[in-house]
Structure 1
Amino acid sequence: MAAAHPALAPHVLLVEDEPAQRELLAYNLEAEGFRVTQAADGDEGLVALREDPPDVVVLDWMLPGVSGIELCRRLRARPETRAIPVIMLSARSEESDRIRGLETGADDYVIKPYAVAELLARVRAQLRRARPATVGQILEWEDITLDAETHRVTRAGCRLKLGPTEFRLLAVLMEKPGRVWSREQLLDRVWGREAYVDTRTVDVHVGRLRKALMAEGGSDPLRTVRGAGYSLG
């Protein structure tokens, strides 16, 4: 996977209590261009989920304190984390255990020991569903097409000129058309949590994106929701 801007790099939360296994997975995920947050137990995992929601959770079943099953259950119970894909790791190979893991809310179930390459492929598969722009997918909405791999945007077949920030902003909006994003959420997703940028900067770049999207004609596809934020469509 090509290196992405830190704000667009897919974020993986890795919850695994075995240090050697956790470090190995984190190393391989980062080598593939992912941003990784590590947690050694379920309690750390819960804190990480609240502080910096990931795009995908890789979660060990057997954890000290809050178990992987319980963590998955809590994640599914909260509206803000309900849609995050979960890949559960477990040494339990019985079909009944797999069914239990999936029924609890896991999207995938990987039996230990596993090949790291296979797990990376499963992470990418979940990302294609959750955040397609991060894995080079082509996004389409009405007459707008965004190619995340070549960084090309067209509207009604005409190539548009977008700056890198406007491109990332459009990619986020196109991944979930209709969703209203607050300025703070867009700052986190487009600029990154470490960026010291004022929320008014979002308004400036939304204005630039609007201008670029309408440069060749067509109606304004961006919606400003007073007191809430912005959405596409």
Structure 2
Amino acid sequence: MLWDDPELEVVELTSSRRALALAFGRRGSLSDRLRDGLDQARFDLLEVDDLQACLDNIAARKPDVLLHDLVVSNAISDFREQVDRSRATETLPVLPIMSRGEACPNALSLTPASNDGEIFLKLRALLRRERPSALSGRRESGCFQLDESGFKMHFQDLSAELSKTELCVLGPFFDLKTSRIDRQSLESLAFANNGWRTGSRSIDFHVIRMRKRVKAQIGIDPLCAIRGFGYALADG
């Protein structure tokens, strides 16, 4: 996966807006790496180790994302149902944390082998999928600009309207300095898919549709295919 690369570099956020992450788990179980990753993604962190405190803060503080330790939450049979009943907002993005055991594409890994960039990429991908309004400002890469909360991609004085699916496909390219993503990682970030099969081309269908629609609006294809690997943001 993309975040298995120890040389992975993400693009720093320039927006001054900070979001709120509520973390539920054992006290002191969150690593400095997670705290640094949350800060890099412009999140303030509130930690709780009691279920009722977690539910009360969901209702009162209206966090932008809920992180939960799988070891703790799996011991509560109706954890997600209680979370859903407590939220005061239409959606509440939820991201599980794994501190040991086998890696899970949909969870945030805090094992010694995990990459710091994984926190940044998965948090931003989750918000695009479930709460894009929490993403403010424009992201720039080469000749393109991406307005995530406005669902628009800009090229020179032209702009393309994006669907949420198209935003989820394009967004990760603006988070990376290399702007190159393999198919498996792109599908995981865009759709939180953990059923990837070797040789799968399901992501290609969505990419092809997005490229066609965006090119029709701004006159340029935003992505280029890399044979046997995935895609890269076009040079323009």
TM-score, scaled to structure 2? 0.51
Which residue of structure 1 aligns with residue 49 of structure 2?
21
The residue type equivalent to 1:38 in the other structure is D
Q: 1:147 to 1:11 in 2, by over 3 A?
A: same
Which residues in structure 2 correspond to 1:1-233 (within 5 Å)? 16=26, 21=49, 23=51, 24-25=53-54, 28=57, 31-40=62-71, 45-47=99-101, 50-52=103-105, 74=112, 78=113, 80-84=114-118, 131=124, 134=127, 135-137=134-136, 138-193=138-193, 199-216=200-217, 219-233=220-234
Distance in 1, Cα, partners of 2:157 & 2:228: 34
Instruction: Considering Cα pairs closer than 8 Å and 6+ residues apart, tell me whether 1 or 2 has the greater RCO.
Output: 2
Could you tell me which amino acid in structure 2 is paired with residue 206 of structure 1? V
Secondary structure of the 1:47 match is coil
Q: Which has the larger radius of gyration?
A: 1
Calculate percent identity across the aligned residue pairs.
17
SS of aligned partner of 2:166: helix
Tell me the SS of whatever aligns to 2:216.
coil
Cα displacement string for residues 31-55 of structure 1 (whole angstroms, at most 9, x for unaligned residues): 42425331448x951237x214656
Other structure's SS at 2:171 match: helix
Question: Which consecutive residues of structure 1, in runs of 5 or more, have no partner in the other structure?
Answer: 1-9, 58-70, 86-126
Are 2:24 and 2:50, in contact at CA under 8 Å, matched by a contact in 1? yes
Aligned length: 161
1 CA distance for matches of 2:57 and 2:232? 35
In structure 2, relative to structure 1, the CA distance for the partners of 1:217 and 1:202 (3 Å cut) is same
Q: Quick one: distance in 1 between partners of 2:151 and 2:106? A: 26
What letter matches 1:37 in structure 2?
A: H
RMSD: 4.3
Question: 1:39 and 1:54, CA in 2 relative to 1: closer, same or farther beyond 3 A?
Answer: closer
* SS at structure 1 position matched to 2:188: helix
Superposed displacement of residue 160, structure 1: 0.8
